[in-house]
Amino acid sequence: MSQEEDLELQALQRQLDDAFQTTRPRPAFEDELWLRMQARRPIWTRFAGGLAGLVSGLREAPAIPSAAVAIALIVVIGAGIISMGGGLHFGGGGGTTSASLDAGGKNGSAAPPPYGALPVPAMTANPPVGSFGPATDRAELYASPVVLIWAGQLSASASSLPVFRYAEPNAADADRFAVSVGAAPSAHVAPGGLGMYSGKGFTLVVDGTVAQPAREPSYELSELKSLPGASAGDPVVVASAFLAARHLTPTWAYQTDVQRSSTTVQVRFLRSLDLQGQGQAPLVNSAGDRYGIEVDIPTSSPGAFASGPLTLNLDSVSYPIISADQAVRAALASSAPSGAGASYPTVKLTTAELVYTLAWAGDHSFYEPAFLFSGTFTYQGTSYVKRVLVPAVAPRLLTP
């Protein structure tokens, strides 16, 4: 190699060294990276980790450091929004509208369904992240193929049921929600979310709808000092008072569920949807678990972590649904082939119920009716529950 070539290589090397020396992450990159790392941690781990963050951050008021804000963040994978808590109502019309379709999928004027063909709600093997509740408080969910047998009873007397639709809220809607709970915009940015906020002793993150697994627009609020520990009294009373103080009391029908561990008491307000004169139906996530608003309370220290869906206006249209016999046949159609060489466990589906679940559709999304079949079994020494979700809306009115 000649001396001239050697000098040229040295010059190129210096240029590369200079480029790498001057390349730095964009502003706030470290904060965003920390937030993303924190969001993948379990809810209570984030809560506990944030206690120290908030205390140290209060010494540097008025700004709350990203470590304290991060305890409330669950990173959003997609965009969209639906609502279910108490308080402000965003999106959609001012009330609930309703239209009916006959069994042919038409109204009296032969017009197409007002919402058109609906997206097909899907079931996942695992619960969605931040799904406002534990995946399951019973046997582990089984996602692999099984041979299915129907051994229960299903009654479905209705010929049509409402489908609920909402419009996606935006950052301005999130700001108004934050004001309603006493929070102001934070200097930090929620990657993929609608907004990050802080209030007196708490932090708040507002997220939009996640497409897959489907999850509503939601909030995560960390109150780190004012709420007494769960040992101070009835956890449902404590959690209800906490939500009321932040104007987050659910306005919909619900049942409460309490789960305890050595360090935390979890109170869930499990939502049911009002079917406009046809009773109520529980809301389930894409794993088939009921959910709503969740409040996690430490057993020996003050504070709480609350998460739940935003409240949006819901419009509705009545769609024709399949019969009970059609639902059973559809559930068994997902059975693995028996005697085909491969060995699959056999599961008796013993229960089925009408539920509602979220189906994402971009700038608007739907709550749709479905039949949830389930059965428990033991396989290789482990207890499992197998679930099958069958859309209740007539197949001709669902997208392929």
pLDDT computed for residue 398 by the predictor: 95
Rounded Cα distance between 20 and 15, Å, is 9
- The ranges of the chain with pLDDT < 50 are 3-5, 7, 11-12, 15-87, 92-98, 101-110, 129-136
pLDDT computed for residue 188 by the predictor: 76
Which residue from 78, 79, 95 is spatially nearest to 312, judged by alpha carbons?
95
Residues 183-206: b if buried by 16+ CB within 10 A, e if exposed: beebebebbbbbbbbbbebbbbbb
pLDDT computed for residue 307 by the predictor: 96
Backbone angles phi, psi at 51, to 5 degrees: -55, -50
Burial of residue 350, with CB atoms counted within 10 A of its CB: 0-12 exposed, 13-18 middle, 19 or more buried: middle
Mean pLDDT for the chain overall: 75
pLDDT single digits (tens) 46-62: 444 443 333 333 333 33
Q: Compute how many other C-beta atoms are within 10 angstroms of the C-beta atom of residue 87.
A: 20
pLDDT computed for residue 58 by the predictor: 35
